[in-house]
Structure 1
Amino acid sequence: MNILRATVCLSLLLSAAAASAQSPSGCPSLPSGSDLQWQEQVTSSFVLCKASTADGREVMSLMLSNRDPEIPLARPLRQEKGTFAGESLYWYQPDLGGQQPPGYATRRVTVVKFDKNRYAQISLYASDAGELGSLQSMARGMNLNPSTVASSP
């Protein structure tokens, strides 16, 4: 009976280890001096990181996943070129069905495949063009190397 229990426990441990090896890493470190803080939500299939200012305004969301989010990014909405995790990308204005709420001109979204079966969906909610450039620059410099990724905020 003890052998059966040990086998079941070992099987559960191996399954958990395999799942954690396949699950995305935590949120990347935010640059010091950015005055932003991550709110992190981790599930078995994705990590959601929301960067907020000291007054609670969300300026960036980053979803890391092992699955392509398959968000249609229409070429007419293409804006700036950029990079993330060493991969080239284009930033897009989000498709809001023709609506343009306040701040729409400085909202951006992109999806990038940055490793074998690893995807990042990034959304920026800048208040003006200067903050948009700053957020794009911050995204460009984020390091997703597991050895340097923060596991919690």
Structure 2
Amino acid sequence: MVVANTPAKPTTSLDHLVIKTPCTMDWGLMDGDNRKRFCSRCEKHVYDVSQMTRDEALELFAGDGTICAKIYRRPDGTIVTSECPPQEKKLAKRRLQFSIGALIALLTASAGVFATSPWIVRTVQPIVGKWFPSKNPKPTVTMGSMCVMGDVICVEPTEDTP
């Protein structure tokens, strides 16, 4: 929280405010709302600029006299107002996007590894078969049946063929 002495003429930019005297009073101990509170020690209203629009803050500082205000100044010198997107939200959004991207990459790589593993067919295929039964069931194989695979040709029966 700071006390800013403002000139009588309107300030064109909040970023050029001159902070004369810092105040040690705790904002949480003052009566009021998030935008304006009353300091019982100096008997003045204290304004939180971060809860105001830029135009509202400029209008506040355009008046005569000393204004007591709570401000947040970014490293680049700009003063935070309610119109400014919070930096924390931007960082949180970037972290979330990075985490989702990393998760997708991990899942894609894992799916590739599992799809090429021979044990996956033996382990997962029976489970999938229970959940999604085939529309064309395989013929049942009886005892003594033999399975032969290979190229099939059609041979005309001859008199010697039983």
| TM-score range for the pair, normalised by the shorter chain length | under 0.3
Of Structure 1 and Structure 2, the greater strand share is in 1
TM-score by length of 2: 0.21
Q: Which has the higher contact order (CA 8 A, sep 6+)?
A: 1
Of Structure 1 and Structure 2, the greater helix share is in 2
From the CA coordinates, give the structure whose radius of gyration is larger. 2
TM-score by length of 1: 0.22
